[in-house]
Amino acid sequence: MPIGRPLPRRKEAVDDVMKQTPQFPFALRRLAACVAIVAFAVTVLTARAEAQMVAVIVNGDPVTNFDIDQRTKLIQLGGGQKAPSRQEVLEQLIDERLKIQLLKRYNIDGIDKDVDNAFTNMARRMRQTSKQFIDQLERSGVKAETLKSRMKADLVWSQIIRGRYQSSFQFNDKEILARMENRKPEEAAAVGYDYTLRPILFVVPRGSPPAAFEARHKEAEAFRGQFQSCEQGIPIARGMPYVAVRAPVVKGSADLPPALRAVLEKTDLGRLTAPEVTRQGVEVYAVCGKKQSDNAPAKKETRDEMFNEQFESHSKRYLKELRSQAMIEYR
């Protein structure tokens, strides 16, 4: 074999190594990217696992860290309340589980439908559809089921306490009048009325811009100035385009919110209340009847106070009983 033969082989080997060398940084970058992806996936999975970790088991029903986080956000969303501690939220959820579990013991039909109706009514009061309300909650990090669960517990609990202690919620006039002696003289002497109202709606199509509501508001205000009596004004309203006159409703002043009660007290018989913007358009009420009622606002408020006191007392006592009988396992 010639003496110079191995040298070319060494050169070929060196060339091969030199060709492969530029690939090292690229391979390292790919490896680093893979490691980062794996680390991110592990972080996400760990966060999800921690969220689903059970904080407490109530009669076999788990309460997770995610449940606690959701309830905390829901409470904070309400505003006007000091942020509760984690333990306070956890105790609330334990009570909620105990209340909902009573459905297995008592025969309460249609509770889920009642929850859906309550949810829809809450959205309506905020002038939103159920879908819009759900989207608003989710933008705040709260799932609709979190709110519905609380509603369900409250509805179940209310029905059970009312039924279980029904006799203690019956108050006679003597008891109510005795309690009313503690109220201010002007409040106790306030007279109640039964109002006959005719809702009149100036319809605004769904999805209309704010300018459409403003225009209808001006129309309603102008019509309010022309309205002198229900006998003459109601037929005129029926003949107006895109105006709906609804069936008469009777409302007692004792059953009305204080703000609406004050509005009706200032509205003369046969006249219209100030226009109010609703989801359907702009609405006014024609005061077509007003007669004195025995159910004065102060009497109704006193009865409600007595009811709430009894409800709170029975609620605390029964909830304490349920807790003493429950299997509550903190994790």
CA-based R_g, the chain, Å: 34
pTM above 0.85, yes or no: no
In Å, how far are 190, 213, 297, 311, 313 from 305, measured between CA atoms?
17, 39, 12, 10, 12
The H or E element containing residue 291 is: strand 281-293
Let me know: does 98 contact 152? Beta carbons within 8 Å: no
Let me know: does 219 contact 202? Beta carbons within 8 Å: yes
Check the CA dihedral 218-222-228-232 and report its sign: negative
User: Could you read off the pLDDT tens digit of each residue along the chain, which spans 331 residues?
Assistant: 444 444 445 445 434 534 444 454 555 455 555 444 544 444 434 434 444 699 999 999 999 999 999 999 999 987 766 778 999 999 999 999 999 999 988 888 899 999 999 999 999 888 899 999 999 999 999 999 999 999 999 999 999 999 999 999 988 888 888 888 777 665 655 678 899 999 999 999 988 999 999 999 999 999 999 999 999 999 999 999 999 999 999 998 888 888 888 899 899 999 999 999 988 999 999 999 999 887 777 778 888 889 999 999 999 999 999 999 999 999 8
Closest CA to 197 of 254, 264, 258: 264
Residue 142 φ then ψ, to 5°: -115, 130
Which are the contacts of 161, defined by CB distance < 8 A and separation ≥ 6? Answer: 311, 314, 315, 318
Looking at the DSSP bridge assignments, the partners of residue 250 are 196
Which are the contacts of 285, defined by CB distance < 8 A and separation ≥ 6? Answer: 197, 198, 199, 200, 264, 267, 272, 273
Phi-psi region of 285 (alpha: psi -120 to 50; beta: other; left: phi over 0): beta
Average pLDDT, the chain: 84
Which domains are delineated in the chain? 24-164 (1.10.4030.10), 191-295 (3.10.50.40)
Q: DSSP state, 12?
A: H
